[in-house]
Amino acid sequence: MTKSIPPTNRSLPIALIRAREGVMSPIREMLSETGITEQQWRVLRVLAEFGRMDTKTLADRSSLLFPSLTRIAATLRDKGFVTQTRDDKDRRRQFIEITATGQKIIDDHAPQAAMIVAGFKETLGDQDYETLLDLLTRLDPGAQG
Amino acid sequence: MTKSIPPTNRSLPIALIRAREGVMSPIREMLSETGITEQQWRVLRVLAEFGRMDTKTLADRSSLLFPSLTRIAATLRDKGFVTQTRDDKDRRRQFIEITATGQKIIDDHAPQAAMIVAGFKETLGDQDYETLLDLLTRLDPGAQG
DNA sequence: GTCATTTCCTTAACATGTTAATTGTTGCCA
DNA sequence: TGGCAACAATTAACATGTTAAGGAAATGAC
């Protein structure tokens, strides 16, 4: 019994990629009319949910690496969806806040996003859906617990 | 009861991203010494498992889009890990095959990859691991069933 | 106070993801 | 056979992922 890697059709990394693609495809389609990307949407959602915060916290909550967030923040600022302000007490740090224009993007598309997610919840069933979220969380070393 | 999107910590797309990052991080670390990327590894694995095949099938089995595969195939060819040959009967099509050098990359690192995956299997337990794979597959519209 | 260290953020460089446009071939059919 | 639709693959353009290096500001030892 050799210890070879599993066939690709039962590979966890590939399964994760395909599932993500399946979930993101309709969301990307929905976002295409807004002109913002999936990651920009994620940043706006975090800002809408938690309010003004520093860049490190934002990167963590958005699951983005710093270099990506730097670019995305610049893009969103240029589009007028967020504002960037320096921390006067520590001028290295920076705070980011969603604007009314950015909030409108969220408000206008949140219902449709909710419907898409509800569709997947229905596909799996409420119980399996929660089970899936729990199992995924257990693969995330950053999750507390 | 407003129908708003779920908080980001119970968001399916974000949970998928974080789980993928948790799983891929040690695999990327393992691959860093080989000089190939995670996607290049995936392509080589598919070729090692199924043998010579046309580009469309390879893209499908590797879960890669065509433009990505074009670049990756060129990179792997330059590194001597795969060969590309035109189909004489239909000169639009192309076949890709792993070389002995490429196969050696797989052979040399497959055990370590297997150990990493086994670690996650142990983390979740055999039962939950299989459950997770099943649930993920149900989110993939490309999966038959 | 000064300098090395640390921290936060940005840039750089390269690979991939994504969509759209383009090129080269094949097949069809009037 | 001539022309057009369909197809395979590439290229282009832009955004992000990833790692490494760089720059500015704060911290701490002395």
For A3, list phi and psi in degrees, rounded to 5: -95, 70
Q: How confident is the model at residue A143 (pLDDT cuts 50, 70, 90)?
A: confident
For A102, list phi and psi in degrees, rounded to 5: -65, -40
Alpha-carbon span A53 to A118, nearest angstrom: 29
Taking only the tens place, the pLDDT of each residue in B48-81 is 999 999 999 999 999 999 999 999 999 999 999 9
User: Considering only CB atoms, which chain A residues are within 8 Å of B8?
Assistant: 42, 45-46, 49, 61-62
User: Considering only CB atoms, which chain A residues are within 8 Å of B126?
Assistant: none
Write out the H or E segment, with its range, that includes residue A84. strand A82-86
Q: Which of A53, A15, A112, A82 is nearest to B121 (CA)?
A: A15
For residue A144, what pLDDT is reported?
58
For residue A142, what pLDDT is reported?
73
Taking only the tens place, the pLDDT of each residue in A20-61 is 999 999 999 999 999 999 999 999 999 999 999 999 999 999
Tokens representing B90? 């239909």
Alpha-carbon span B29 to A136, nearest angstrom: 21
Per-residue pLDDT at B2 exceeds 50: no
Contact between B42 and A110 using a beta-carbon 8 Å cutoff: no
